Protein backbone atom coordinates (compact mmCIF):
# COMPACT_ATOMS: atom_id res chain seq x y z
CA UNK A 1 0.00 0.00 0.00
CA UNK A 2 1.67 3.19 -1.12
CA UNK A 3 1.41 6.25 1.08
CA UNK A 4 0.73 9.74 -0.29
CA UNK A 5 3.86 11.88 -0.63
CA UNK A 6 2.70 14.46 1.91
CA UNK A 7 2.86 12.00 4.86
CA UNK A 8 5.49 12.84 7.47
CA UNK A 9 8.27 10.47 8.47
CA UNK A 10 6.52 9.72 11.76
CA UNK A 11 3.34 8.80 9.95
CA UNK A 12 5.29 6.58 7.60
CA UNK A 13 6.98 4.88 10.53
CA UNK A 14 3.66 4.12 12.28
CA UNK A 15 2.18 2.92 9.03
CA UNK A 16 4.93 0.34 8.64
CA UNK A 17 4.59 -0.69 12.29
CA UNK A 18 0.90 -1.22 11.60
CA UNK A 19 1.59 -3.32 8.50
CA UNK A 20 4.23 -5.36 10.33
CA UNK A 21 1.79 -5.97 13.17
CA UNK A 22 -0.89 -7.17 10.76
CA UNK A 23 1.63 -9.45 9.08
CA UNK A 24 2.52 -10.88 12.48
CA UNK A 25 -1.15 -11.58 13.29
CA UNK A 26 -1.69 -13.25 9.92
CA UNK A 27 1.42 -15.34 10.54
CA UNK A 28 0.08 -16.23 13.98
CA UNK A 29 -3.20 -17.36 12.44
CA UNK A 30 -1.88 -19.41 9.58
CA UNK A 31 1.65 -20.55 10.43
CA UNK A 32 0.76 -23.49 12.69
CA UNK A 33 -1.55 -24.94 10.04
CA UNK A 34 0.99 -24.45 7.29
CA UNK A 35 3.69 -26.08 9.41
CA UNK A 36 1.64 -29.23 9.83
CA UNK A 37 1.45 -30.08 6.16
CA UNK A 38 5.16 -30.45 5.28
CA UNK A 39 5.92 -32.06 8.64
CA UNK A 40 3.43 -34.83 7.91
CA UNK A 41 5.68 -35.91 5.03
CA UNK A 42 8.75 -36.34 7.21
CA UNK A 43 10.64 -39.60 7.00
CA UNK A 44 11.75 -39.38 10.62
CA UNK A 45 9.65 -40.02 13.70
CA UNK A 46 10.38 -36.53 15.08
CA UNK A 47 8.02 -33.61 15.10
CA UNK A 48 10.45 -30.94 14.00
CA UNK A 49 12.03 -29.94 10.74
CA UNK A 50 15.16 -32.01 10.25
CA UNK A 51 18.16 -30.46 8.45
CA UNK A 52 17.36 -32.74 5.52
CA UNK A 53 13.87 -31.29 5.23
CA UNK A 54 15.16 -27.74 5.41
CA UNK A 55 17.58 -28.39 2.55
CA UNK A 56 14.74 -30.02 0.59
CA UNK A 57 16.52 -33.36 0.43
CA UNK A 58 14.04 -35.79 -1.22
CA UNK A 59 15.14 -38.58 1.13
CA UNK A 60 13.90 -36.60 4.10
CA UNK A 61 10.36 -36.78 2.80
CA UNK A 62 8.12 -39.83 2.62
CA UNK A 63 4.58 -41.09 2.63
CA UNK A 64 5.27 -43.59 5.39
CA UNK A 65 2.96 -41.90 7.94
CA UNK A 66 0.15 -41.85 5.40
CA UNK A 67 0.68 -45.56 4.81
CA UNK A 68 0.38 -46.06 8.55
CA UNK A 69 -2.79 -44.05 8.51
CA UNK A 70 -4.48 -46.37 6.02
CA UNK A 71 -3.50 -49.39 8.11
CA UNK A 72 -0.54 -50.52 6.01
CA UNK A 73 1.83 -51.86 8.66
CA UNK A 74 4.50 -53.24 6.30
CA UNK A 75 6.98 -50.48 7.25
CA UNK A 76 9.24 -52.38 9.65
CA UNK A 77 11.23 -49.34 10.75
CA UNK A 78 8.29 -47.68 12.44
CA UNK A 79 8.10 -48.68 16.05
CA UNK A 80 4.92 -46.81 16.94
CA UNK A 81 1.76 -48.82 17.26
CA UNK A 82 0.21 -49.50 13.90
CA UNK A 83 -3.46 -50.37 13.71
CA UNK A 84 -6.48 -50.01 11.51
CA UNK A 85 -8.07 -47.68 14.06
CA UNK A 86 -7.69 -44.64 11.83
CA UNK A 87 -9.60 -46.35 9.06
CA UNK A 88 -12.29 -47.54 11.47
CA UNK A 89 -12.49 -43.99 12.78
CA UNK A 90 -12.82 -42.57 9.29
CA UNK A 91 -15.57 -45.07 8.47
CA UNK A 92 -17.45 -44.32 11.70
CA UNK A 93 -17.07 -40.58 11.19
CA UNK A 94 -18.56 -40.81 7.72
CA UNK A 95 -21.36 -43.09 8.94
CA UNK A 96 -22.32 -40.86 11.88
CA UNK A 97 -21.77 -37.71 9.83
CA UNK A 98 -23.93 -38.80 6.91
CA UNK A 99 -26.70 -40.26 9.08
CA UNK A 100 -26.95 -37.16 11.26
CA UNK A 101 -26.73 -34.88 8.21
CA UNK A 102 -29.67 -36.63 6.56
CA UNK A 103 -31.69 -36.44 9.75
CA UNK A 104 -30.74 -32.83 10.48
CA UNK A 105 -31.44 -31.71 6.91
CA UNK A 106 -34.86 -33.36 6.79
CA UNK A 107 -35.91 -31.99 10.17
CA UNK A 108 -34.34 -28.62 9.44
CA UNK A 109 -36.17 -28.17 6.13
CA UNK A 110 -39.50 -29.12 7.75
CA UNK A 111 -38.95 -26.61 10.53
CA UNK A 112 -37.82 -23.89 8.13
CA UNK A 113 -40.93 -24.48 5.98
CA UNK A 114 -43.10 -24.04 9.05
CA UNK A 115 -41.20 -21.01 10.29
CA UNK A 116 -41.45 -19.26 6.94
CA UNK A 117 -45.26 -19.49 6.92
CA UNK A 118 -46.73 -16.08 7.65
CA UNK A 119 -49.11 -17.43 10.30
CA UNK A 120 -46.55 -19.20 12.46
CA UNK A 121 -47.27 -18.48 16.13
CA UNK A 122 -44.45 -18.07 18.70
CA UNK A 123 -41.97 -17.79 15.83
CA UNK A 124 -39.25 -16.06 17.86
CA UNK A 125 -39.51 -18.50 20.73
CA UNK A 126 -39.39 -21.59 18.50
CA UNK A 127 -36.49 -20.17 16.50
CA UNK A 128 -34.60 -19.54 19.74
CA UNK A 129 -35.24 -23.11 20.86
CA UNK A 130 -34.11 -24.52 17.51
CA UNK A 131 -30.82 -22.64 17.46
CA UNK A 132 -30.09 -23.11 21.17
CA UNK A 133 -27.70 -26.05 20.59
CA UNK A 134 -25.43 -23.54 18.85
CA UNK A 135 -25.46 -21.16 21.82
CA UNK A 136 -25.10 -23.53 24.77
CA UNK A 137 -21.43 -24.48 25.26
CA UNK A 138 -20.62 -27.97 24.07
CA UNK A 139 -19.48 -29.14 27.46
CA UNK A 140 -22.90 -28.35 28.92
CA UNK A 141 -24.81 -29.95 26.04
CA UNK A 142 -22.56 -33.00 26.30
CA UNK A 143 -23.01 -33.22 30.06
CA UNK A 144 -26.79 -32.98 29.78
CA UNK A 145 -26.94 -35.55 26.98
CA UNK A 146 -24.69 -37.86 28.95
CA UNK A 147 -26.94 -37.68 32.02
CA UNK A 148 -30.20 -38.01 30.10
CA UNK A 149 -29.01 -40.61 27.57
CA UNK A 150 -27.71 -42.73 30.45
CA UNK A 151 -31.29 -42.92 31.75
CA UNK A 152 -32.72 -44.04 28.40
CA UNK A 153 -29.84 -46.37 27.48
CA UNK A 154 -28.56 -44.32 24.57
CA UNK A 155 -25.02 -43.85 25.89
CA UNK A 156 -22.38 -45.81 23.93
CA UNK A 157 -24.75 -46.43 21.03
CA UNK A 158 -24.54 -45.16 17.47
CA UNK A 159 -28.19 -44.10 17.71
CA UNK A 160 -27.42 -41.87 20.67
CA UNK A 161 -24.40 -40.34 18.98
CA UNK A 162 -26.29 -39.72 15.73
CA UNK A 163 -29.17 -38.09 17.64
CA UNK A 164 -26.74 -35.89 19.54
CA UNK A 165 -24.92 -34.80 16.39
CA UNK A 166 -28.22 -34.17 14.65
CA UNK A 167 -29.23 -31.81 17.46
CA UNK A 168 -25.92 -29.96 17.10
CA UNK A 169 -26.17 -29.70 13.30
CA UNK A 170 -29.83 -28.73 13.20
CA UNK A 171 -29.34 -24.98 13.92
CA UNK A 172 -27.11 -24.59 10.86
CA UNK A 173 -29.70 -26.15 8.56
CA UNK A 174 -32.52 -24.12 10.11
CA UNK A 175 -30.57 -20.87 9.77
CA UNK A 176 -29.37 -21.35 6.20
CA UNK A 177 -32.69 -22.69 4.92
CA UNK A 178 -34.82 -19.97 6.58
CA UNK A 179 -32.41 -17.39 5.15
CA UNK A 180 -32.82 -18.83 1.65
CA UNK A 181 -36.56 -19.15 2.18
CA UNK A 182 -36.82 -15.43 2.94
CA UNK A 183 -35.80 -14.71 -0.63
CA UNK A 184 -38.22 -17.28 -2.01
CA UNK A 185 -41.16 -15.98 -4.02
CA UNK A 186 -44.20 -17.61 -2.41
CA UNK A 187 -46.43 -16.80 -5.38
CA UNK A 188 -44.64 -19.63 -7.21
CA UNK A 189 -46.05 -22.28 -4.86
CA UNK A 190 -49.45 -20.61 -4.98
CA UNK A 191 -49.33 -20.71 -8.78
CA UNK A 192 -48.42 -24.39 -8.65
CA UNK A 193 -51.32 -25.08 -6.30
CA UNK A 194 -53.68 -23.16 -8.57
CA UNK A 195 -52.54 -25.33 -11.41
CA UNK A 196 -53.65 -28.35 -9.42
CA UNK A 197 -50.34 -29.72 -8.10
CA UNK A 198 -50.29 -31.69 -4.92
CA UNK A 199 -48.46 -29.79 -2.11
CA UNK A 200 -45.82 -32.55 -1.73
CA UNK A 201 -45.28 -32.67 -5.46
CA UNK A 202 -45.03 -28.88 -5.57
CA UNK A 203 -42.48 -28.86 -2.80
CA UNK A 204 -40.16 -31.30 -4.54
CA UNK A 205 -40.65 -29.89 -8.04
CA UNK A 206 -40.86 -26.13 -7.41
CA UNK A 207 -39.61 -25.11 -3.98
CA UNK A 208 -36.79 -27.55 -3.26
CA UNK A 209 -34.83 -26.90 -6.47
CA UNK A 210 -34.99 -23.16 -5.79
CA UNK A 211 -33.86 -23.36 -2.17
CA UNK A 212 -31.31 -26.08 -2.95
CA UNK A 213 -28.20 -23.89 -2.41
CA UNK A 214 -29.33 -23.08 1.14
CA UNK A 215 -30.19 -26.70 1.81
CA UNK A 216 -26.84 -27.95 0.55
CA UNK A 217 -24.77 -25.45 2.49
CA UNK A 218 -26.81 -26.16 5.63
CA UNK A 219 -26.26 -29.87 5.11
CA UNK A 220 -22.52 -29.35 4.62
CA UNK A 221 -22.33 -27.32 7.83
CA UNK A 222 -24.21 -30.07 9.65
CA UNK A 223 -21.82 -32.64 8.23
CA UNK A 224 -18.71 -30.72 9.28
CA UNK A 225 -20.17 -30.16 12.73
CA UNK A 226 -20.54 -33.90 13.15
CA UNK A 227 -17.29 -34.78 11.39
CA UNK A 228 -15.19 -32.47 13.59
CA UNK A 229 -17.13 -33.01 16.79
CA UNK A 230 -15.14 -34.26 19.76
CA UNK A 231 -16.75 -33.18 23.06
CA UNK A 232 -20.06 -34.99 22.69
CA UNK A 233 -18.35 -38.11 21.32
CA UNK A 234 -16.21 -38.27 24.43
CA UNK A 235 -19.29 -38.23 26.64
CA UNK A 236 -22.05 -39.93 24.69
CA UNK A 237 -19.97 -42.34 22.62
CA UNK A 238 -18.43 -45.54 23.93
CA UNK A 239 -15.42 -47.55 22.80
CA UNK A 240 -17.31 -48.70 19.70
CA UNK A 241 -18.10 -45.16 18.58
CA UNK A 242 -14.51 -44.51 17.61
CA UNK A 243 -14.73 -41.54 15.26
CA UNK A 244 -11.80 -39.82 13.60
CA UNK A 245 -11.64 -36.92 16.12
CA UNK A 246 -11.83 -39.42 18.93
CA UNK A 247 -8.95 -41.43 17.54
CA UNK A 248 -7.02 -38.19 17.13
CA UNK A 249 -7.81 -37.23 20.70
CA UNK A 250 -6.50 -40.60 21.90
CA UNK A 251 -3.40 -40.16 19.75
CA UNK A 252 -2.70 -36.67 21.09
CA UNK A 253 -3.13 -37.81 24.68
CA UNK A 254 -0.75 -40.75 24.31
CA UNK A 255 2.06 -39.49 22.15
CA UNK A 256 1.85 -37.24 19.18
CA UNK A 257 3.44 -38.91 16.19
CA UNK A 258 3.64 -37.81 12.56
CA UNK A 259 0.66 -40.12 11.91
CA UNK A 260 -1.51 -37.54 13.65
CA UNK A 261 -0.03 -34.84 11.43
CA UNK A 262 -0.92 -36.91 8.38
CA UNK A 263 -4.49 -37.26 9.66
CA UNK A 264 -4.56 -33.54 10.42
CA UNK A 265 -3.42 -32.69 6.90
CA UNK A 266 -6.20 -34.79 5.43
CA UNK A 267 -8.75 -33.16 7.74
CA UNK A 268 -7.54 -29.70 6.73
CA UNK A 269 -8.00 -30.61 3.08
CA UNK A 270 -11.48 -32.06 3.68
CA UNK A 271 -12.75 -29.03 5.59
CA UNK A 272 -11.23 -26.58 3.13
CA UNK A 273 -12.88 -28.45 0.26
CA UNK A 274 -16.28 -28.56 1.98
CA UNK A 275 -16.21 -24.94 2.99
CA UNK A 276 -15.07 -23.73 -0.40
CA UNK A 277 -18.17 -25.47 -1.75
CA UNK A 278 -20.32 -23.66 0.79
CA UNK A 279 -18.78 -20.31 -0.12
CA UNK A 280 -19.31 -20.91 -3.85
CA UNK A 281 -22.92 -21.89 -3.19
CA UNK A 282 -23.47 -18.79 -1.10
CA UNK A 283 -22.09 -16.56 -3.85
CA UNK A 284 -24.18 -18.32 -6.46
CA UNK A 285 -27.35 -17.92 -4.44
CA UNK A 286 -26.54 -14.24 -3.79
CA UNK A 287 -25.97 -13.69 -7.46
CA UNK A 288 -29.23 -15.42 -8.34
CA UNK A 289 -31.11 -13.37 -5.80
CA UNK A 290 -29.39 -10.22 -6.98
CA UNK A 291 -30.73 -10.54 -10.52
CA UNK A 292 -34.19 -11.77 -9.53
CA UNK A 293 -36.82 -8.98 -9.65
CA UNK A 294 -37.90 -9.68 -6.04
Where helices occur in the chain by DSSP H, the ranges are 9-39, 51-54, 64-69, 85-115, 123-135, 138-151, 158-182, 187-194, 199-202, 208-228, 231-236, 244-254, 258-291
Distances (CA, A) of 39 to 35, 204, 208: 6, 48, 45
Hey, how many other C-beta atoms are within 10 angstroms of the C-beta on 238? 13
Which residue of 3, 13, 16, 30 would you call a contact of other proteins, by CB under 8 A? 30
User: By C-beta, is 51 or 76 nearer to other proteins?
Assistant: 51
According to the binding rule CB under 8 A, does residue 26 interact with other proteins?
yes
C-alpha to C-alpha distance for 172 and 159, rounded to whole angstroms = 21
According to the binding rule CB under 8 A, does residue 133 interact with other proteins?
yes
Binding region for other proteins (CB under 8 A) out of 57-65, 81-89, 182-190, 249-257:
249-257
According to the binding rule CB under 8 A, does residue 115 interact with other proteins?
yes
User: By C-beta, is 137 or 290 nearer to other proteins?
Assistant: 137
Hey, how many other C-beta atoms are within 10 angstroms of the C-beta on 87? 15
User: By C-beta, is 104 or 293 nearer to other proteins?
Assistant: 104
According to the binding rule CB under 8 A, does residue 264 interact with other proteins?
yes
Binding mask 171-190 for other proteins (x = CB under 8 A): ---x----------------
Among 130, 89, 93, 107, residue whose Cα is nearest residue 226: 93
Residues 32-91 contacting other proteins, CB under 8 A: 32-33, 35-36, 39, 46-49
Among 265, 236, 224, residue whose Cα is nearest residue 248: 265
What's the min distance (Å) between Cβ of 67 and other proteins? 19
User: By C-beta, is 255 or 293 nearer to other proteins?
Assistant: 255
What's the min distance (Å) between Cβ of 262 and other proteins? 11
According to the binding rule CB under 8 A, does residue 1 interact with other proteins?
yes
User: By C-beta, is 90 or 164 nearer to other proteins?
Assistant: 164
Binding residues for other proteins, how many (CB under 8 A)?
A: 78
C-alpha to C-alpha distance for 30 and 118, rounded to whole angstroms = 45
Binding mask 138-177 for other proteins (x = CB under 8 A): xxxx-xxxxxxx-x-----------xx-xx--x---x---
Residue 44, SS3 per DSSP: coil
Which residue of 5, 56, 76, 135 would you call a contact of other proteins, by CB under 8 A? 135
Q: What are phi and psi of 61, to 5 degrees?
A: -110, 150
Whether the CB-CB separation of 165 and 97 falls below 8 Å is answered with yes
Amino acid sequence: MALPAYKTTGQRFWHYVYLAFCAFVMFFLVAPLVAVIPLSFTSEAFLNFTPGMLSLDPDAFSFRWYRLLVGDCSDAVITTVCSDKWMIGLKNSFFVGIASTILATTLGILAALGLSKPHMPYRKLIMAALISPMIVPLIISAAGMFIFFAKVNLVSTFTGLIFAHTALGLPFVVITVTATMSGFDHSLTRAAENLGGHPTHNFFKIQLPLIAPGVISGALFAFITSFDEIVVVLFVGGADQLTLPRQMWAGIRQEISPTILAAATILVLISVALLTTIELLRRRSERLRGISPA
